[in-house]
Chains A and B, each alone.
Chain A
Amino acid sequence: MTAIPFYAQIINLLAALLLLLSFAMLAQRRVLSLVNLFAMQGLSLALSTAIVAYGTAQPHLYWSAGLTFVLKVFLLPWLLHRLIRQLDVRWDVEGLINIPTTMLIGIVLVVFSFNLAVPISELASTVTRSTLGIAMACVMLSFLMMITRRKAIPQVIGFLSMENGLFFAATSATYGMPLVVELGIALDVLVGMLILGVFFFQIREQFDSLDLKHLEKLKEGE
């Protein structure tokens, strides 16, 4: 085994942490803890980006790390907390489909994305290329979370954490996207979050709950 630099080891550790947090979010039943887990995921993402910036001397990555930190550790969780408080769904516990089964599907997804990432990461020349598989696994797991959840807020958190995974994929495969693109995405996510917040109120006004199965019906009175 070739020795990899120390900072790359820390990045690997943070990548593993990111994967673990994705699984924790998949298994979490309580909405409030879900938001906190999302904030922790953002924190590890910002840390790993900062370490990539330090290790590869890419100053523009410091900006994205800072942006991630402010946006995903403070602003978005704060917005979500406020939404949860206003909608009064703080103690919402979701009746998920069997958690161990979801976890097993999650493992299959991880194996799938690891296999998928191996040929791609062989082409990349970055020191962090091996974490690409983890980034893809995070995206897949967030997908799974959006599919298995029924309530609106966990679905939105799944969407946001998918963006985390994509961001991590960009960092690990190509040392990040150009700053303009990153700013654009950050703004998109923020605005999307605000709009979805308005949606939540509309949904609840219409159906008296945030359960999205009410949206499956096309006509009224069936």
Chain B
Amino acid sequence: MNVGGFISQLLQVLIALALAPLLVGWVNQCRAWLQNKSAPSLLLPYRTIHKLFIKDAVVADTASPIFRIAPYIVFGAMCCAAAIVPSLATDLPFASAADAIALVGLFALARVFVALAAMDTGTAFGSLGARREMFIGFLAEPALLMVLFTASLISGSTSLPTIVDTLAHREFAIYPSLAFAGVAFTMVSLAENARVPVDNPATHLELTMIHEAMILEYSARHLALIEWASAMKLFNYSCIGLALFFPFGIASGGDWLGVVGAAPTLVAKLAIGGFALALIETLSAKMRIFRAPEFLGTAFLLAVLGMLVNLLLGS
């Protein structure tokens, strides 16, 4: 328990809260730019969230309390996840409360509540979206766990700060297993964040939408929280990816002043990562929903191969 740890912990959550909509705005801008469209403002997600917060909420008559509390739970889960993932520093007092497996559990909790709330109002789209989301989720989760296990095997711990510390301060070596895990992780994050090959975040077409179908019934502050939470989810996934596969520049140990230096590095890495995401989304076409098992099956296969190769080669 030290002051520096708490400061870096607090700073990290605040940065995640503040920068998450910016990341979404940046990805949208890159995507528009790559597709030769005129780009929306970088600050558009902030304005949307602000606009939604000052509106009056409308809740369906048939909705149960689950519908009302779901946005808060989802948002809370994403804040917790932002506190666990070492994006700026590895000296996080809160992170000892939950390891990589619990992190996957947090994401699962958020997913379950969004799906429950979607089915709660009894609309056709809601249950359709919820079913699809659970379908994607149950395929993506094992792959994500395997990716995290690969990293845990290398560092000998499932605690995320320890993993990142080990990966960041090792002597230079080529890890084929991490390359496998990296590709698998990219595929999983595309599926989990409702990005293009699996879901299209920009569409409201009935037959294809997954995430949008679930939140159709939400309005005003509830919708704002959900939108903010999904931006934070993208932010968290990007930070996990950056922490596992590009861990340089993260402040370690009790060096809480290093956090100040780590912030610009993180922003730069996120900018590059966001551009890469936009590039992937532009280059790929959306798959039929029944191709998703093949896509996520490949991700699972790569993650398991990474783990096996790690066990065999010891690297």
Contact residues of A with B, CB < 8 Å? 1, 3-4, 9-10, 12-13, 15-17, 19-20, 23, 27, 99-100, 103, 106-107, 110-111, 114, 117-118, 130-131, 133-134
Task: Judge whether B298 and A16 touch: CB under 8 Å.
Answer: no
Binds A, one of B50-58, B87-95, B121-129, B172-180: B172-180
| Beyond known contacts A4-B315, A23-B301: 19 more, CB 8 A cutoff | A4-B173, A13-B174, A13-B176, A13-B179, A15-B176, A15-B313, A16-B313, A20-B302, A20-B305, A23-B305, A27-B298, A99-B294, A99-B297, A111-B308, A114-B311, A114-B312, A130-B312, A131-B313, A133-B312
User: Which of B171, B293, B297, B312 contacts A134, CB < 8 Å?
Assistant: B312
| A131 to B312 Cα, complex, angstroms | 8
Total number of A-B contacts with CB less than 8 angstroms? 63
Give the CA-CA distance A194 to B177 in the complex, in Å.
38
Q: Are A16 and B297 in contact (CB under 8 A)?
A: no
User: A56: shortest Cβ distance to chain B, in Å?
Assistant: 18
| Cβ of A133 to closest chain B Cβ, rounded Å | 5
Complex CA distance for A17 and B174, rounded to whole angstroms: 13
Q: Which residues of A contact B148 (CB under 8 A)?
A: none
User: Across the two chains, which residue of chain B brings its CB closest to A16?
Assistant: B176
Are A107 and B171 neighbours in the complex by a CB distance under 8 Å? no
Expressed in whole angstroms, the Cα–Cα distance for A118 and B174 within the complex equals 21
- A residues less than 8 Å from B176 (CB atoms): 12-13, 15-17
Interchain CB contact (< 8 A) of B314 among A19, A111, A130: A130
Q: Does B304 contact A (CB under 8 A)?
A: yes
Q: Is the CB of B309 within 8 A of A19?
A: yes
Top 7 closest pairs, chain A to chain B, by CB: A16-B176, A100-B297, A9-B174, A133-B312, A13-B176, A12-B313, A130-B313
Which residues 75-98 of B have a CB within 8 angstroms of A? Answer: none
Q: Are B301 and A12 in contact (CB under 8 A)?
A: no
User: A107's contact among B179, B301, B314, by CB below 8 Å, is which?
Assistant: B301
Q: Please indicate which of the listed interface residues A20, A107, A133 has the most CB atoms of chain B within 10 Å of its own CB.
A: A20
- Residues of chain B contacted by A17 (CB below 8 angstroms): 176
Residues in chain A near residue B314, CB distance under 8 A: 1, 130
Known contacts being A16-B180, A100-B294, is A134 close to B305, with CB within 8 Å? no
Give chain A residues whose Cβ lies under 8 Å from the Cβ of B301.
23, 103, 106-107
Measured CA separation A118–B301 after assembly (Å): 22
Q: Which of B278-315 contact A (CB under 8 A)?
A: 293-294, 297-298, 301-302, 304-305, 308-309, 311-315
Query: Is the CB–CB distance between A103 and B305 below 8 Å?
Result: no
A110 touches B315 (CB 8 A): no
Q: Which residues of A contact B179 (CB under 8 A)?
A: 13, 16
Q: Which residues of B contact A100 (CB under 8 A)?
A: 293-294, 297
Least CB distance from B68 to A in Å reads: 39
Residues of A within 8 A of B313 (CB): 12, 15-16, 130-131
CA of A27 to CA of B301, assembled, Å: 11
Query: With A and B bound together, what is the CA distance between A23 and B311 in angstroms?
Result: 18
How far does the alpha carbon of A111 sit from the alpha carbon of B307 in the complex, in Å? 11
Minimum distance in angstroms from A148 CB to a CB of chain B: 16
With the chains together, A186 CA to B177 CA distance in Å?
32
C-alpha gap A10/B298 in the complex (Å): 24
Give the residues in chain B near A12, CB-CB below 8 Å: 174, 176, 313, 315
